[in-house]
Amino acid sequence: MNSIEMVKKYGIRLLKILRYWNIYAGVDPERATAPALILFPCRSNILCCGLAGILTVKQVERPECDDPGKHMDALFKIIHREDISKILDGAISSGRYLDGPDTLAALEQWISDLKRNEPFERLFYDSREAVHLTALSKKMNAFLAEEQFALESRAAHFSTGDLEIINSRLTRMKDVCWALERDILDNIGGILRLAGSERPEELAPEAFRKYRIINFLLNSLDRLEVRGRDSAGIQISFTLTASRDLTDVLARLRERGLHDDFRQRTVAGDLINGSIECSEARPFLSFTYKTASIIGELGRNIRELRKAVAHDAVFREFAVKGAAFETTLAHTRWASVGSITEDNCHPINNNTLNKGIRRYPAYGEGDGTISVVLNGDIDNYQLLRRQFEAGRELIVPEVTTDTKIIPLQIEKYLREGNDLTESFRRAVCDFEGSHAIAMTSSLEPSRIFLALKGSGQTIYVGLAPDRYVFSSELYGLVEETSAFIKMDGEKPSIPGDSESAGQIVILDQNSGGGLPGIKSFYYSGLPLVWRTADIQQAEMTTRDIDRGAYPHFFLKEISESALSVHKTILGKYQIIKEKDGKKQVRFNLGPDIVPEKVRLALVRDEIRRVVVIGHGTAAVAGSAVSDALERYLRSARIRIEAKIASELSGFHLHESLQDTLIIPITQSGTTTDTNRAVAMAAQRGAAIIAIVNRRQSDITGKSDGVFYTSDGRDIEMSVASTKAFYSQIVAGHILSLYFAQILGTLSDEKIAEELENLEQAPALMQRVLEQKEKIRQSVRDCAGKNIGPLSAAGRTRRPPMKSGSSSANSVTRPSPPTWWKTRSTSICRRSP
């Protein structure tokens, strides 16, 4: 059976399995009847959100960035000369392709420089330079298209090593082109639309800086929406440079008939869409924009927020004034606690009913504001709320989110005489459950406070030359910078004491920026020191997570599945035809995929057991990979197994796994059960080769070798796996055939035949995708018809009862085939 037939076989097998399963949509797994397949599971305790923010550093040195277009033009001319044709002609080696990595790095540096505040501001107001860079972008894209075509048509002329170098250089050039076009030039138009201006010269520089920050936040939220989108909110806060600026703006508002609108929006209360918090003493202002929608259509919230900002005439008047300090927060949400309303949408402030004048001993009397956003849950929220309301103050009934207790708990410690830093630390120590928190306050308007505890959340802090960017996902910050540090909510401050976990990071505009400008410590108060080695580089760009013109990610992933398989295959081997007509296969799976110690262990018969693990669709892909291993290694004395990851960790770990190779399969690389099984197996001496689709994911740090599907950056954002599933099977087959070669269980002729069959998969998949109109019509024809035990919103359509059944609750379903009973637990085969 060839590889194409194997993919078809497992697709049919999966459909047969589903005949005996209950299929649900939008229900809690705890309420589903097993066996069950649940589309879009609704977990009451596992809901995802996204947070982001940006903080410009005031005191950082700003190097000159003169005439970037001229320098980039010169670099591109050098790159253009060293193209693929030069390698084919023998004029240069692959190492000199595109003039080598140093020239590409110089071009990347200019892109990074253009993203800094001052160079981008000069570009914004220099229309000739913008036109120049637009033309350069078009030339680079045209060059890339030519190079990609040459590579695809002449791939057989390159060694596998050369292919790896060429592909990596082309990827870097694609990133440069994308960043110039989308992250820089497109944002000029985005800022103008947000400000309600037609031309850059209509926008004052101070206003440009504020609208640029908001535009970035909205771009980040647009990418974070895949994490949650029933509501979203942003807040920009700033302290005016001079007190008279507030007086001037208020006079201007009266002249334009906007003063009544301003006063209505500054009435004390919980934050809703359009809320303004104004402290005349400082003078401090914050503008909040929110939107909520139960349906959660992808892109809808960001459109609404952009519209709200663009139509805000009051903010436009304040935006032209200089700001001593600026802080921003953004959040997108799946509601886990609290209904889906503007009141519950983040940010949330410290307002209460019957709120009087606050007195904070460390700051004096005043109207100090505290705003927070939360990912995760405050598990003891109800207890803390009861304790708070036992006093004279009450929380507004419309606000039911657990996030509300955070600013109130911080304020509790402020009233006791602590400063904001200590109040924040004490408050987060009171919270139970996994959480990620960001907080700003008018009491210290130059700072943003971050807190992380537990395993379910993440905060990345991006380090740009003149600003900090933070986000709950890497793709929320890569538009601005690729350098970051990652907070660790599980690392204890006292070794062995899990209760001492939790980290706090404080970002300050008055710092010098970078790592030295970050103040950080554990929840326990012990210092947390960041070192240069802690700085990581994101191996993704905004290009990797662009939804494009697709209305949702699911359609995008399906449409890209053929290309993803093609990328998985490209460059992994070369088939060479000898003079006698026989075929020789040269694999290009280096030590980063199959470490030398693993290769030698296989050759020396030291590995006697291979276990493929995964969860969900990755486990189904693992079953196909285990079949390939068994078929290709039939004459080897190796035991092949496929297991669900949690079954391996729970029931099948031996004391020693020195003779075992574990092949975990995962799309995201963050599947908790898979990663736990891998860690436990590695502790017992097992070798690990992961098949994963996401670079820098958790599993890559736990594995000896990593086989990336596609290019390791083809991120699958959709819940249901499509392109990753097919690519995982193909990657597993290539790995199996490589093992067959080094173990001598298949001839190169047979290996070449199997690989040539695999190469047909992308074209065959594309043929299916081209029939989308027929597929659409088929769905319409089946709409409303009984198609089996399918349910929606938890209502199961069961097979009819057998005649003569005495109970309405007694349902007889056909018995699943014998082979399924075996696969529903685990698979264990022994070679002769």
- Whether residues 431 and 527 share a domain: the answer is yes
CA 627 to chain centre: 32
More confident residue, 690 or 710: 690
Asked if residue 455 belongs to a domain, the reply is yes
Residue whose tokens read 């259509």 = 297
CA distance 1 to 444: 69
More confident residue, 825 or 1: 1
Asked if residue 811 belongs to a domain, the reply is no
Phi, psi of 536 (to 5 degrees): -115, 160
Asked if residue 425 belongs to a domain, the reply is yes
Average pLDDT over residues 549-565: 84
pLDDT at 22 over 70: no
Asked if residue 725 belongs to a domain, the reply is yes
Residue percentage of the chain with pLDDT more than 90:
62
What does DSSP assign to residue 185? I
What is the CB-side half-sphere exposure of residue 727 using CA atoms within 13 A? 33
Q: Which residues of 386-411 are buried (b: 16+ CB within 10 A; e: fewer)?
A: eebeeeeeebeeebbbbbbbbbbbbb
Asked if residue 707 belongs to a domain, the reply is yes
The least confident of 55-64, 352-361, 510-519, 606-615 is 55-64
Split at pLDDT 50, 70, 90, the class of 393 is confident
Tell me which H or E stretch contains 664.
strand 660-666
Average pLDDT over residues 212-231: 85
Phi, psi of 233 (to 5 degrees): -155, 155
Split at pLDDT 50, 70, 90, the class of 57 is confident
Structure tokens at 248: 């001037």
Asked if residue 446 belongs to a domain, the reply is yes
Residue whose tokens read 């012990």 = 526
Q: What is the pLDDT of residue 49?
A: 72
Out of 759, 774, 807, a domain closes at 759
Q: What is the pLDDT of residue 788?
A: 54
- Whether residues 165 and 64 share a domain: the answer is yes
Structure tokens at 263: 């006063």
- Whether residues 243 and 336 share a domain: the answer is yes
Is the Cβ–Cβ distance between 23 and 789 less than 8 Å? yes
- Whether residues 574 and 590 share a domain: the answer is yes
Task: Quick: pLDDT tens for 442-491.
Answer: 999 999 999 999 877 899 999 999 999 999 988 899 999 999 999 999 99
Q: Could you give the number of structural domains in the chain?
A: 4
pLDDT at 819 over 70: no
> How many Cβ atoms sit within 10 Å of the Cβ of residue 581?
7
Split at pLDDT 50, 70, 90, the class of 152 is confident
Q: What is the pLDDT of residue 391?
A: 80
- Whether residues 410 and 486 share a domain: the answer is yes
Is the Cβ–Cβ distance between 489 and 460 less than 8 Å? no
End-to-end CA, the chain: 20
- Whether residues 379 and 498 share a domain: the answer is yes
pLDDT at 388 over 60: yes
User: What CATH number should be reported for the domain holding residue 412?
Assistant: 3.60.20.10
pLDDT at 170 over 60: yes
Out of 160, 175, 191, a domain closes at 191
- Whether residues 168 and 288 share a domain: the answer is no
Q: What is the pLDDT of residue 812?
A: 35
Structure tokens at 780: 């319409």
- Whether residues 479 and 528 share a domain: the answer is yes
Residue percentage of the chain with pLDDT more than 70:
85
Split at pLDDT 50, 70, 90, the class of 718 is low
CA distance 713 to 86: 28
What is the CB-side half-sphere exposure of residue 212 using CA atoms within 13 A? 26
Is the Cβ–Cβ distance between 486 and 474 less than 8 Å? no
Structure tokens at 71: 């320098």
Q: What is the pLDDT of residue 711?
A: 76
Out of 712, 735, 759, a domain closes at 759
The least confident of 94-108, 256-270, 291-305, 532-546 is 291-305
pLDDT at 195 over 70: yes
Residue-number span of the structural domain to which 665 is assigned: 560-759
CA distance 246 to 767: 64
pLDDT at 798 over 50: no
Average pLDDT over residues 803-818: 35
CA distance 111 to 69: 10
- Whether residues 92 and 224 share a domain: the answer is no
Split at pLDDT 50, 70, 90, the class of 817 is very low
Asked if residue 652 belongs to a domain, the reply is yes
Q: What is the pLDDT of residue 372?
A: 97
Phi, psi of 111 (to 5 degrees): -60, -45
Q: What is the pLDDT of residue 552?
A: 74
- Whether residues 385 and 285 share a domain: the answer is yes
Asked if residue 628 belongs to a domain, the reply is yes
Task: Quick: pLDDT tens for 483-516.
Answer: 999 999 999 999 888 888 999 999 999 998 999 9
Average pLDDT over residues 8-18: 59
Task: Tell me the three state secondary structure of residue 820.
Answer: helix
Split at pLDDT 50, 70, 90, the class of 560 is confident
Split at pLDDT 50, 70, 90, the class of 719 is low
More confident residue, 564 or 554: 564
Average pLDDT over residues 530-546: 90
pLDDT at 157 over 60: yes
> How many Cβ atoms sit within 10 Å of the Cβ of residue 549?
7
> How many Cβ atoms sit within 10 Å of the Cβ of residue 639?
17
Task: Quick: pLDDT tens for 320-329.
Answer: 999 999 999 9
Q: What is the pLDDT of residue 664?
A: 96
Task: Quick: pLDDT tens for 62-121.
Answer: 556 678 899 999 999 999 999 999 999 999 999 999 999 999 999 999 999 999 999 999
- Whether residues 588 and 467 share a domain: the answer is no
Task: Quick: pLDDT tens for 291-320.
Answer: 988 765 778 889 999 999 999 999 999 999
- Whether residues 123 and 203 share a domain: the answer is no
Q: What is the pLDDT of residue 14?
A: 57
Is the Cβ–Cβ distance between 444 and 412 less than 8 Å? no
Q: How far is CA 22 from CA 425, 574, 617, in A?
A: 47, 45, 16
Split at pLDDT 50, 70, 90, the class of 716 is low
Q: What is the pLDDT of residue 751?
A: 97
Q: Structure pTM?
A: 0.78
Q: What is the pLDDT of residue 518?
A: 97
Query: 76-80: which pairs have CB atoms within 8 A and are 24 or more residues apart?
Result: 76/107, 76/136, 76/139, 76/140, 76/143, 78/103, 79/103, 79/104, 79/107, 79/173, 80/143
pLDDT at 828 over 60: no
Q: What is the pLDDT of residue 670?
A: 78
Mean pLDDT of the chain: 86
Task: Tell me the three state secondary structure of residue 525.
Answer: coil
